[in-house]
């Protein structure tokens, strides 16, 4: 089974991103999974994700991002067709109150087994929550873009987005452990 996991690189003047750190740690346990670290750029990141989906055609896509202020792993249920950046991306773009794809639905839902993920992570003593608010920044943009692209091109792929707390609130080894459990679950 082909699995693609994406993460974001650093942004907002920081030198690291919790999602990137967890992805690098996870790759040590599963060297065969496909990974991409995407820049926090509202043009380049979606283009690179679509390119990876075309090339790899994964059965599972898990997109990772970091959520400052959260102390739990957030399993995102809903992607919203809206960009409303509170800070600029790396290229200085800061769209506000703009549709990601005009004419498409207001929201799309994750196709990952989130209830099962929630129960599994809880069983393994991870702090976890279901969330319907992935923000309106690049995490949400990538999430919505991926779900639309997969559906439009009829790629048989389950996809969703997971927000990780900052590494100082949820150590990288713990975040990677949670992701390991999810990979094993998707393969079973």
Residues with a catalytic annotation lie at 76, 139, 163
**How, if at all, do strands 158-165 and 60-67 pair?**
parallel
How many separate helices (H) and strands (E) can be counted in the chain?
5, 8
Token readout for 89 is 């991306």
Answer for the pair 33, 61: CB distance below 8 angstroms, yes or no.
no
What does R_g of the chain's alpha carbons equal in angstroms? Answer: 15
The count of other CB atoms within 10 Å of the CB of residue 72 is 18
**What backbone phi and psi angles, to 5 degrees, belong to 117?**
-60, -45
Determine the Cα–Cα distance for residues 77 and 93; give it in Å rounded to an integer.
Answer: 26
């Amino acid at each position: 089974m082909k699995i693609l996991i994406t993460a974001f690189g650093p942004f907002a003047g920081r030198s690291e991103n919790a999602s990137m750190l967890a992805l690098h740690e996870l790759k040590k346990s599963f060297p065969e999974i496909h990974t991409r670290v995407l820049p926090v750029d509202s043009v380049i990141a979606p283009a690179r994700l679509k390119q990876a989906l075309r090339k790899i055609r994964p059965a599972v896509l898990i997109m990772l991002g970091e959520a400052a202020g959260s102390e739990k792993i957030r399993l995102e249920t809903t992607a919203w067709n809206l960009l409303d950046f509170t800070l600029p991306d790396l290229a200085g773009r800061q769209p506000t109150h703009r549709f990601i794809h005009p004419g498409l639905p207001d929201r799309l839902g994750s196709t990952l087994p989130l209830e099962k993920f929630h129960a599994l992570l809880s069983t393994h003593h991870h702090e976890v929550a279901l969330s319907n608010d992935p923000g309106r920044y690049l995490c949400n943009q990538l999430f919505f873009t991926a779900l639309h692209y997969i559906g439009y091109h009829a790629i048989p792929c389950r996809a969703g987005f997971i927000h990780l707390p900052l590494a100082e609130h949820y150590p990288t080894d713990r975040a990677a452990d949670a992701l390991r459990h999810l990979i094993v679950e998707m393969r079973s």
